[in-house]
Amino acid sequence: MSHDISTKAQATRAHTARADSTDVPSLYDADILLWSEQQAALIRALGRRRDLPNDLDIENVAEEIESVGRSELAAVESKIELIILHVLKLVLEPDAPPTRHWRAEIAGFHADLRRRYSASMRQRIDLDALWRSARQQAALAHEGTPVQPVVDGLPEDCPFALDDFLGEPIDPAALTARLQAPPSAPA
């Protein structure tokens, strides 16, 4: 019997040591979106229990926790859209004085994107919607200018994959080259 208690105590200490370790990131640190969804589901499950007092505003607490993850997803999508918009600026105005500044901003947006991105976001990011939004902004900015036909000739769907924005380091020149290259002929 004392052997069982000793083994359980050792297992508990080992689990606590792993949980306290800074080497192993928590789900909160590794994937805030997934963490927020799981926590909200757990809180909602607690709210369905009849043996607990129901003074806690379960639904709104769960909604607030979920909003943490949604906020991070929105921030990631915003950084991607800003990268696309700045790549479009580089393509549409390659000789403009602020091109170095735009490339530096792309690098900054990329760094923030990588800090905030988590794996569960991958299936929720709509690159085509982000592309269309950035393309529309570029179209409005260049309406009636000599650059408008170039904007009008841009693809309708996003020509980039998510990994183009997540890779390290980001290469603004390669992204702009992809938009400047003539479409490849079908094989």
Bond preceding residue 169 cis, omega within 30 of 0:
yes
Amino acid at 170: I
- Give residues with Cβ within 8 angstroms of 97, minimum separation 6: none
Which pTM value belongs to this model?
0.77
Give the pLDDT of residue 115.
94
> In whole angstroms, how far apart are CA 104 and each of 92, 117, 126, 144?
17, 20, 25, 28
For domain 8-180, give the CATH number: 1.20.1220.20
- pLDDT at position 62 is 87
Torsion of CA 108, 110, 114, 118, to 10 degrees: 130
Integer Cα distance of 158 and 175 in angstroms: 12
Report the C-alpha gap between 122 and 162 in whole angstroms.
8
**Local confidence pLDDT in tens for the 187 residues of the chain:** 444 444 334 434 444 444 455 565 788 888 888 898 898 898 888 888 878 776 778 888 888 888 888 999 999 999 999 999 999 999 999 999 999 999 999 999 999 999 999 999 999 999 999 999 999 999 999 999 999 999 999 999 999 999 999 999 999 999 999 988 554 444 4
Q: Packing angle between helix 172-180 and helix 58-92, nearest 10 degrees?
A: 70
Residue-range domain boundaries for the chain: 8-180
In this predicted structure, what is the pLDDT of residue 170?
A: 95
DSSP 124: G
